[in-house]
Amino acid sequence: MKSKKKEKSLIKELDAIRSLKNESIDLRELEEKMVKLIEKAAQYYQDQLDNNMAQFYFEYGSILVQILEQSQDSVENSLNCVEISRNDRELKNTQLAFENLEAAKTIIRNRLDKQNIEMYKLQEQLQQIRSRINETELEMSLILIRIGDLQTWREDYKDGLLNFYAALDILKNSYNYKELSAVHFKIGNAILLQNDNGCEKLSLNHLEQSFRFCYQQLYNKECDLDLSEKNLSKIILDNDLLKMLIEKIEDTYIQLNEVNACQKEIEKWKNSEPILQQEIQYLGKISRQSNEINGIQIKRKI
């Protein structure tokens, strides 16, 4: 079993050489230290191409390159630079530098290949996990929808809508257009049944979404149809389900228009009520001894 203490000692020596490399120190002295350190590292890791050997080869190769660069500078500064050629040591250092840097490159390339393979496997695993999560989320949304159906059947529209909305929250980022269409329809229908103020407009929003998701499920493309009230009669469809959804939207618009018309009449009556009260009071003065006006019993409180 490899000693972690021994490995830490090797890394510590390597870090010390790295720090000395940038200082004014004899590079040949560092070269000798690196040779000894590489021997110790190879003996410890028991494999010259071990992943951890790359950093030792790289530092050794870098030191050799620096030595060659210094040697080249001294040659260029020499008065007899044209006649001076590289000596055997420089050639040896060049070869050693290439060998060590190539060894470091080979190790790092192998490491990258392995890491890429590991990443690909992890991506596959993540995709499988994501797929299982999607399946579980779909199951949960279907359960919530069924609970919402039951509560709606019992006329508990508030709790039914809470479960429908919870199912929609799960499905909203999915591509399950069939279930998205279904839950939007159920929400729109439950809102109408709840019959709160403004329910028609809110219901229409969900019914239109239901239509669009259903269209996308059937034709595998986004729905760009104009679903405004004035344009509904112009839409030609060859699918019974889509036709049913259009009819539901049309009926909801009719209901909305009836509500709006009724509200206008109420507002009109409210605005005219003070005048009506004045007329009744005036007629009441004509027959103070009777609670009748022209034979009509006045029961309204003035």
pLDDT tens across 21-70, in order? 766 678 888 888 889 999 999 999 988 888 899 999 999 898 888 888 87
C-alpha distances in Å from residue 301, one per residue of 38, 135, 267, 276: 109, 65, 20, 12
pLDDT of 157 > 80? The answer is: yes
Angle, alpha carbons 270-274-275 (nearest 5°): 110
Condensed to tens digits (0 to 9), the pLDDT of residues 158-169 reads: 999 999 999 999
| DSSP output for 125-182 | HHHHHHHHHHHHHHHHHHHHHHHHHHHHHTT-HHHHHHHHHHHHHHHTTS--HHHHHH
Chain centroid offset of residue 106 CA = 38
Length of the chain: 302
What pLDDT score was predicted for residue 230?
Answer: 92
Write down the pTM of the prediction: 0.63
pLDDT class of 286 with cuts at 50, 70, 90: very low
CA dihedral 219, 225, 230, 236 (to 10 degrees): -40
Beta bridge partners of 296: 293
Q: What is the H or E stretch that residue 292 is in? A: strand 292-293
N-terminal to C-terminal alpha carbon distance within the chain:
104
pLDDT class of 75 with cuts at 50, 70, 90: low
| Residue 295 DSSP class | T
Rounded to an integer, the average pLDDT of 109-119 is 93
